[in-house]
Structure 1
């Protein structure tokens, strides 16, 4: 394990969709934290990849995050089942995952990425499920499988590394 590095990271936003979010436990807080990650990624030039599960059925990405990146539509729960997703994450960057649902699309995506020897970090305060039990079970399983469980603040401050970073003030304001 090593510190996250903005130059070696890619933020992956999975299925924060309008019709799904009202059913997600603590949804508004999760969306707000994902928004902080997006803003920090933009400040620090971290590439962003975003998916939408069955957008015809579940709607498009919530307005707060819709501008983060062009969404990759998928029908498979595992984002790796979408060829456009595989193309978008080509390389060896650390993959910072947030989204819904922790025990379905986020979980299956993380497990596939781990099988393919990618470093996966799941942002626990920016992933959700309909029930806390499903989220907790997913996070335990993912951690046992090799994913690192982190928080929004851990990501932002590891990307910055120092209070002398030129983007420190605007990035730190995102957290307060």
Structure 2
């Protein structure tokens, strides 16, 4: 399952590398759609931070964003209800890397999930905060990965019937 954390319209302009983040998360979402990887998406206090960025909404398909008011999404019952049973593998991306993404990753690890922290699809306001979050996630048991490694892992082989479609997303 792909977990997209707080990719919200009013938050994104304040992030270091926001455009690249939006592109990378969009690529993950489109690949997940092609490969039937389930997606769950969160929104932190959408009344203040707005909803998920319009550029990503079409790629969410039926994954209605889950509203939360906790930084760690695992403290929101609706988020927990949307997850598969542990010890499933969850790929996590979004914003902000050192707050909601990191705290959600730590919560998922405590619940027994295998967590893949998609490092090139995570951003914070400051690059230093993102760097520390990546290190902390890894120290606490998350595995670091990238968008391309994630997608090729989902494919498994160039013989996958959707290989060419997915490859087009990466070019």
Count of matched residue positions in the alignment of Structure 1 and Structure 2? 167
1:119 to 111, 114, 119: 114
- Within the alignment, does 1:39 sit opposite 2:30 as a pair? yes
1:75 to 40, 60, 69: 69
**Cα distance in 2 between the residues matched to 1:36 and 1:144:** 27
In structure 1, runs of 5+ residues without a counterpart are 1-9
Partner of 2:99: 104
**Mapping 1:120-139, distance limit 5 Å:** 120-139=115-134
Matched position secondary structure for 1:163: coil
Matched position secondary structure for 1:103: helix
Partner of 2:46: 55
Give CA deviations for 1:6-56 in whole Å, capped at 9, x if unaligned: xxxx00000000000000000111111111111111111100000000000
**Cα distance in 2 between the residues matched to 1:41 and 1:73:** 21
**Cα distance in 2 between the residues matched to 1:66 and 1:51:** 12
**Cα distance in 2 between the residues matched to 1:166 and 1:126:** 26
Partner of 1:151: 146
Deviation at 1:65, TM superposition (A): 1.3
In structure 2, runs of 5+ residues without a counterpart are none
Partner of 1:5: none
* Structure with greater proportional helix content: 2
**Structure 1 segments of 4 or more deviating over 4 A?**
none
2:85 to 88, 91, 104: 91
Deviation at 1:90, TM superposition (A): 3.2
Matched position secondary structure for 1:65: helix
Q: If the length of structure 1 is used for normalisation, what is the TM-score?
A: 0.93
**Cα distance in 2 between the residues matched to 1:156 and 1:44:** 9
**Cα distance in 1 between the residues matched to 2:108 and 2:118:** 15
